[in-house]
Amino acid sequence: MDEPEEHHAHKGAFSLAKRLGSALLEWQKGGRPVVSKETMKKRLTICRDCEWWSELGKSKWAMCKACGCTSLKLLMGTSQCPLNPPRWKKEIEEIEEPPLPEGF
Ligand code: SF4
């Protein structure tokens, strides 16, 4: 199993929350860019095939257990998979209409 950039085994909820906060701050600083619907679907397909992904039944609620981010992370252009190497990377795209993530 690939490991997140920073080994997560000793990390708890505080570290996951800190990582999520950093991702949101970076997104805010970057002008809150969102990816295209195609990129969003591509990322979701990769995550759904990943051992770190967790979906709560039919609630449409999902999160990456490696970084603590929810599926909203997939929409953010500044986000990147935390594994080393990452399974998907940051993508700043020029798009006309932002996609809506599944369940939102
Ligand atoms: S962001 Fe990376 S580690 Fe997290 S679920 Fe997706 S592919 Fe897996």
What's the whole-model pTM score?
A: 0.77
Mean per-residue pLDDT, 41-54: 96
Indicate whether residue 82 lines ligand 1 (CB < 6 A).
Answer: yes
**CA atoms of 40 and 25, how far apart (whole Å):** 20
Residue 12 pLDDT: 73
Listed by start position, the domains of the chain span 1-104
DSSP secondary structure string for all residues of 39-103: HHHHHHHHHHTSTTEEEETTTTEEEETTT--BGGGGGBTT----BSS-SS-------SSPPPPTT
Q: Is 83 in the pocket of ligand 1 (CB under 6 A)?
A: yes
- Rounded to the nearest whole angstrom, what is the distance from the C-alpha of residue 5 to the centroid of ligand 1? 12
Q: What is the pLDDT of residue 81?
A: 95
Which residue, judged by its Cα, is nearest atom 6 of ligand 1? Answer: 47
- Give me the residue label for tokens 């999902």: 62
What are the pLDDT digits (tens) for 63-95? 999 888 888 899 999 999 999 999 999 988 776
At 60 the pLDDT is 76
